[in-house]
A = this chain, B = another copy of it.
Amino acid sequence: MATFGDIGVAAGLNILFAVAFLIAFAFLRLQPINDRVYFPKWYLKGLRSSPVNAGSVVGKFVNLDWRSYVRFLNWVPDALRMPEPELIDHAGLDSAVYLRIYLLGLKIFVPVALLSWAVLVPVNWTNNTLAKSQAADHNLQYSDIDKLSISNVPFGSPRFWTHIVMAYAFTFWTCYTLRKEYATVATMRLHFLASEGRRPDQFTVLVRNVPPDQHESVSEAVEHFFLVNHPDHYLTHQVVTNANKLAKLINERKSQQNWLDYYQLKYSRNQSQRPVKKTGFLGLWGEKVDAIDHQTAKIETLSKQISEERERVKTDPKCIMPAGFVSFKTRWAAAVCAQTQQTRNPTLWLTEWAPEPRDIYWDNLAIPYFSLAVRRLVTSVAFFFLTFFFMIPVTIVQSLANIEGIEKWAPFLKPIIEVPFIKSVIQGFLPGIALKIFLIVLPTILMMMARFEGFLSKSTLERRAALRYYVFNFFNVFLVSVIAGTAFQQLDSFLHQSANEIPRTIGVAIPMKATFFITYVMVDGWAGVAGEILRLKPLIFFHLKNFFLVKTEKDRDEAMDPGSIGFNTGEPQIQLYFLLGLVYAVVTPIFLPFILVFFALAYVVFRHQIINVYNQEYESAAAFWPGVHGRIISALVFSQLVLMGLMSTKGNAQSTPILIALPVLTIWFHRFCKGRYEPAFIRYPLQEAMMKDTLERSREPNLNVKSYLEYAYIHPVFKNEDEDDEDEYEGECNNGKLLDGSVLVPTKRHSRRHTHDPSKFSDDRESLEN
């Protein structure tokens, strides 16, 4: 039962942290040496080069211009200044719409906060239930915050009608805003799709589960099938090859190349001594050899293997997967093929829109239908156990991970561990570490589950992982905080409670946890978001790489880690705030301003990051919005059920029939929105396709679509094959550019591993090193 004072202290502390982060950021970002950490997006776009303004050597590393420090908060208006259309152009629709989620939070909660402060706070405050209870029972503690909450309204008071009316008002406002936002995003998506230039995925359909045929190869079967069934429209196709082993070898060579670079750089700095390395495990023991020669030999072996494997993949029919990318003469025909069923057996010749080339998750293209169904079952069961039973392995690890365990397993560490100080630190931290590590790797586990489930594009993988992360958070963060006990204990107790008891249990606990969640919002939401802008990890890694590996401008480009929004972790976090805001809007109005600060701060910070830092790996044209919408709706329904439960314990059970209409209407509203707006995210209207086709035909009557599409969908390892044998050997490849000369928007992963064609903008760059 925190008082205003306690909350104030916590708020002050967190504001201090947040401000410290922001100041550190403001300072660090002005240093030229950090330029590539804080503005990588501009480098990737070729619009910024290494700073050259200051003449002195020091000036290249440290900003000596005191005036720039005065305007240290300038990044905020800068971030807000770029208009949305330009933002879409600059960072893609995904990013622009992602920001709208934060904006949506402000749109929903600013009026809700105003209304609830104007109406509910006075209604709650002008009671004395808590004071009376305290008079009766001196052990009872309550705070000023509780005086502002619904707890202060006496049992069975007619004042509760205010809360019910407010619940209606908030529901209608939320739904109104959601509908408007859904309509806007759908329009933005359609407009984006309509206005974007010619892209291979507009003409292409992915066909999977091509049935095996004794007399025909996959390629022939695909060609014959589409020539027969889409005779006027079929253009060309590319079969999918299983090049997973090849890709692995190329990655291996890449990593060996990094080591070679490292040793070469080391040697060039200290020419007196050839660097040596041990050949054993992790370079810790084994024979000492000349490192440069060793690495060179290794890379040569790998290159040979790679070219062998490449030949094998090209010629061996076993490497051809029963899937292909089929291109059509018009967008209309591709839209038709993607949205219709081809044959009697709906598990063969499955067609769907091809994801854009960089969005494809190649490994999953060849999974047959039955296997997919089994995988879906397995992941659902696995996710259920992960959500409700993850504490079991964590507890086991905790019990193993004690001092004795470590000494038994790794006896050579014994002398270090036995130092009293280190021992006590380990004993204090170890138990928590297992849980912490689990929570850190959880998003990775969820991504792995989504991959196992067999989705075909990275965007779908992330969306699925986001949904699961939200569900996990709902049970293991939200519910566990509201009601004591692990998720499994709760599941067990919910199974033993009646359907009308569960909302009561949660509803009663909700007002009591307000202060906890206020602190949570400040730590996770305020300080956490401010920490995001500082980019501590990429900052450190960049400077490490810069020191050990970087020889050329290209290497430096590779050392940049712009990162991406991380939809699979970011969106569930926002959704948790929506949930908290909706649940507390009626119950504890004082909660709302804290949420508002989060949404506003996060909006500014992420807008800045999206403009200057993040580089999206793919563009799904806001395909995630139906999920975002659905999760807010589910939070709204949950908040209504909880309010119903709370009301029935407050001597106001007669309000239940009135409140039950709210979830019914909300679910109906959701279904309405689904029917009205979701198709824009799933299907591609024929009228749009036809308009685009007609326009193109009149503009470029002699366009050769076939040559444009011929190599659009080849596996990344085959792209730029010719350059590859020389360039890749030099640790370089040019994946951002397609063979036909059209340049795709560069993406994170490509850029991280292989930078752009340097010829394009290396002329206006200077090397920092010499």
User: Least Cβ distance of A519 to chain B in Å?
Assistant: 33
A500 interfacial contact with B, CB 8 Å:
yes
When the two chains form the complex, which single residue of B496, B500, B671, B685 contacts A500, counting CB atoms closer than 8 Å?
Answer: B496
Which of A121-129, A343-351, A423-431 lies at the interface? A343-351
Q: Does A255 have its Cβ within 8 Å of any Cβ on chain B?
A: no
Q: How large is the interface on A (under 10, 10 to 19, 20 to 34, 35 or more residues)?
A: 35 or more
Q: Is A335 positioned at the interface, with any CB of B under 8 Å from its CB?
A: yes
Q: Is A497 an interface residue (CB 8 A)?
A: yes
Contacts of A500 in B (CB 8 A): 495-496
Say whether A686 faces chain B, with CB atoms less than 8 Å apart.
Answer: yes
Question: Are the CB atoms of B229 and A232 closer together than 8 Å?
Answer: no
A683 and B495 form a contact (CB under 8 A): no
Which applies to chain A's interface (DSSP): helix, strand, loop or mixed?
Answer: helix
Q: Are B369 and A676 in contact (CB under 8 A)?
A: yes
**Is B229 touching A690 in the complex (CB atoms < 8 A)?**
yes
Interface flags for A646-688 (1: CB within 8 Å of B; 0: not) read 0000000000000000001100100110011111100111111
Contact (Cβ within 8 A) A373 B341: no
Are B498 and A671 in contact (CB-based, < 8 A)? no
Q: Tell me the nearest residue of chain B to A351, going by C-beta.
A: B686
- The proximity string for A residues 330-371 relative to B, scoring 1 for CB distances below 8 Å and 0 otherwise, is 000001100111111011000000000000000000000110
Chain B residues, Cβ within 8 Å of A228:
687, 690
How many copies are assembled? 2
Distance in angstroms between the alpha carbons of A665 and B685 in the assembled complex: 37
In the complex, what residues of B have CB within 8 A of residue A676's CB?
Answer: 346-347, 369
Q: Is the CB of A340 within 8 A of B342?
A: no
A344 with B190, Cβ < 8 A, contacts A232-B232, A339-B339, A377-B668 known? yes
Give the residues in chain B near A499, CB-CB below 8 Å. Answer: 494-499
The residue that A683 contacts in the complex, of B229, B341, B690, with Cβ under 8 A, is B341
A373 contact set on B, CB distance < 8 A: 668, 671-672, 675
Whether B688 contacts A346 by the Cβ 8 Å rule is no
Tell me which residues across on chain B come within 8 A of A119, comparing CB atoms: none
User: With A494-B499, A497-B498 in contact, do A342 and B686 touch (Cβ < 8 Å)?
Assistant: yes
Question: A335's contact among B340, B672, B683, by CB below 8 Å, is which?
Answer: B340
Check if A252 is an interface residue, CB within 8 A of chain B: no
Q: Is A726 an interface residue (CB 8 A)?
A: no
Q: Is the CB of B340 within 8 A of A686?
A: yes
10 contacts between A and B (CB under 8 A): A232-B232, A340-B686, A342-B685, A343-B685, A343-B687, A346-B676, A346-B680, A346-B685, A495-B499, A497-B499
Sample of 17 more A-B contacts, CB < 8 Å, known A341-B683, A373-B672: A340-B683, A340-B686, A341-B686, A343-B685, A343-B688, A344-B688, A346-B675, A369-B675, A376-B668, A377-B665, A377-B668, A381-B664, A495-B498, A495-B499, A496-B500, A496-B501, A498-B498
Q: Which 8 A-B pairs have the closest CB atoms?
A: A346-B679, A341-B683, A377-B668, A373-B672, A343-B687, A496-B498, A341-B685, A495-B500
